[in-house]
Amino acid sequence: MALELAFAVAARAVLVLSPLGSHIQDDNQLSSQLTSYSRLQEGIYLFRHGIDPYSGGSFRHSPLALSLFSTVIPTSRIHPTLLWTFCDAVGAWALVNIWRSRSNTQKSGRDMRIAAFYLINPYIFLPCLALSTSTLETTLQLLTLLFASRGQSSLSLLTLAIVAHLSLPAILLLPPILLLLLSDPQSHLASPRSFPFQQKFRKCNLLFLEFGFFFVVLVFASALVTGGWGWVRNTWGAGFLLPDLTPNPGLWWYFFTEMFDHFRPFFLMVFSLHLTIYVVPLCIKFQHDPLYATFLLLGVLGTFKPYPTLSDPGLFLSLISLFPEIYPYLRYPIVTALLHLHAFLLLPLFHHLWIGTGTGNANFFYASTLVFGLANGGALLDCVWAGLRVAIGEENDRWVVTQE
């Protein structure tokens, strides 16, 4: 497997180093206002010249990224390209090892297929090619799942705190990650059982406090780097206030472009709270398989977060390879796949008609994002249904065997 994976990563690096990357670096579908490498370079330039990059309204990256790229990582074209390629390779490695933890094996025939499915996924590959920092967030999320699957609580909570610091909606993954750390990553979809909350309550509180400690340390480190708290409004506040309505593949930007200012605060509150309502029901319903609950919450974030890129649903779709037991119970996999193919072709086409040639308008591109949202929502609902249906199917199979 190592040889095939090395070849795939090398071929990927050649494409990343090609001139194509510079042409799509500022594509709104691949890089959002919070993940654009061009905006990161602008903030680094201001920071190095003694100007607070958060004093304006365009720089929205985390102070962690600002300090890392302004001191440790050179900003020439070659170094970030190699870093992004390396991060994707680490993500593929982490995904394979999550599967090994779930299947309780050291090596399996699915390893190469899982890695290949991740590396050739265009939703994962194209943001990497565009140097979107969403690629770094995706890798950290996979490492969080890997450490949690192995029971390495401190490493898992630390990486989750870093991801949440880079992209605040990721903090919603904390409850299922805590459940995963208190149980095991193996599949229990076919045999649901109650989670022993009372027995694990004390340890859960300790893990929560540990995460809080990591998160608070990162917050104060960021304030120390920037010399104040102005970064909070420009980074985390952007997800609540939506100050930048540059088009993206999400469902927020057009709605608030057309929104009257009088109603804007109310609907910002509704849209923000909407993300949180899925956490408790999914964690309760899939308490017997917290890895699957985390997978579903990643699908929710990929569909409904305020500033998404293709990386967000790409991670959700890549994780489907970890759950082969749900495949027989998916109701409309062909329809969902065709919807994604349709959206994948419509998004760049309608964006070009609107921005490139001027023969379209904002409704063209938003229509394609609605198709994209429908594809993501269809995949998410299908996976919820299949995850619930596994147990019923297994019971029916056992009943048929006993009758025979």
Provide block-wise average pLDDT over 10 residues at a time, the chain (404 residues): 64 69 80 89 88 85 88 73 87 93 85 87 89 92 95 94 94 95 89 82 92 95 88 90 88 88 90 92 92 96 93 94 92 92 90 81 87 94 92 57 43
Reference 118, options 96, 149, 101; nearest CA is: 96
Report if residue 291 sits inside a domain: yes
Give the span between the Cα atoms of 9 and 3, in whole angstroms.
10
pLDDT at 280: 94
Site of tokens 């379209």: 360
Instruction: Count how many domains the chain has.
Output: 1
Is residue 59 within 8 A of residue 43, CB to CB? The reply is yes
The domain in which residue 200 lies consists of 2-236+248-322
Site of tokens 């760049």: 348
pLDDT at 402: 47
Question: Within the chain, what is the greatest distance between any pair of CA atoms?
Answer: 79
Q: How many CA atoms lie within 13 A of 362 on its CB side?
A: 11
Is residue 379 within 8 A of residue 340, CB to CB? The reply is yes
pLDDT at 321: 92
How many angstroms separate the first and last alpha carbons of the chain? 42
Is residue 383 within 8 A of residue 326, CB to CB? The reply is yes
**How many other CB atoms are there within 10 angstroms of residue 140's CB atom?**
24
Report if residue 215 sits inside a domain: yes
pLDDT at 1: 55
pLDDT at 397: 47
SS3 (DSSP) at 104 = coil
Residues sharing a CB contact under 8 Å with residue 73, sequence separation 6 or more, in sequence order: 79, 80, 83
Give the span between the Cα atoms of 160 and 169, in whole angstroms.
11
* DSSP letters for 147-209: HHHTT-HHHHHHHHHHHHHHSGGGGGGHHHHHHHHHS-SS--TTS-----HHHHHHHHHHHHH
How distant, in Å, are the alpha carbons of 173, 175, 273, 284, 317 from that of 281? 13, 11, 14, 5, 21
SS3 (DSSP) at 65 = helix
Report if residue 356 sits inside a domain: no
Rg of the chain taking only CA atoms, in angstroms:
21
Report if residue 362 sits inside a domain: no
Report if residue 352 sits inside a domain: no
Report if residue 366 sits inside a domain: no
Report if residue 341 sits inside a domain: no
Report if residue 65 sits inside a domain: yes
pLDDT at 21: 66
